[in-house]
Amino acid sequence: MIKLVFVDMSKTLIKGSVVNSGAEFLGKGDTYRELYPKFKSGEIPYKEVLLKSFACWKGLKSSDLPKVYNRFEFVEGAKETLKMIKEMGIQTALLSNVATHLAEFFKQELNFDFTTGNVLEVKNGIFTGKIIEFHDDKVKEAMEILHVSGIHPSDAISIGDRKDDAKVFEKVKFGVAFNGDETARKAAKYQITNFKELINIIKKESN
């Protein structure tokens, strides 16, 4: 029985990157665009991408977060699908490297039961560019959510698109690769290109 769905954010729930959103708003998004290919090729760890990308959030006003959030473009069908999942009595958890300040906006709009993210420092209503709490291990975060919720891994599934999502796939009932890279596709039980297909998968696996 499926009781919880883990959902990746960047390129799964929304188009583009959440990590770079604050910097993009300030016109400083080039750092992330330069670093991400190096991470993909294995030249640098993702933690370095996070540190340097979030450093570019320096100067962002917390009062501008609604504007940052409103710039996100959701993947077609994602909002409707998540609403249907909730109506089926299934809990949802957002697994992301997003700043926790922004994760709250997603939680409110999409009714997530759980969210994860990196805690950024804010002083006098302005982001300093520093990360004060790292939460970049999706498996660790997923296991903590399962522990808190009392849900067994065999009653949870995950949808995502890349290597760190694939690691979560291996710890739960099964994974769903959404426009996934090779690693995600290999680790997933299902591969989809339309987010709405997730509903049919859940119904099939619930019979």
pLDDT of residue 41: 87
Query: Is pLDDT at 207 greater than 80 in this prediction?
Result: no
CA–CA separation, 14 and 188 (whole Å): 20
CA–CA separation, 65 and 160 (whole Å): 25
In percent, the amount of the chain with pLDDT more than 70 equals 100
Averaged pLDDT, 173-202: 96
pLDDT of residue 136: 83
pLDDT of residue 144: 97
Per DSSP bridges, beta strands 119-123 and 114-115 are unpaired
Tokens of 133: 């709490």
CA–CA separation, 179 and 192 (whole Å): 6
Domain ranges of the chain: 4-206
Averaged pLDDT, 173-198: 96
Chain segment 42-58, per-residue pLDDT in tens? 899 989 999 999 999 99
CA–CA separation, 192 and 174 (whole Å): 14
Averaged pLDDT, 73-90: 97
pTM for this entry? 0.94
pLDDT of residue 148: 97
CATH number, span 4-206: 3.40.50.1000
Residue for token digits 């697994």? 95
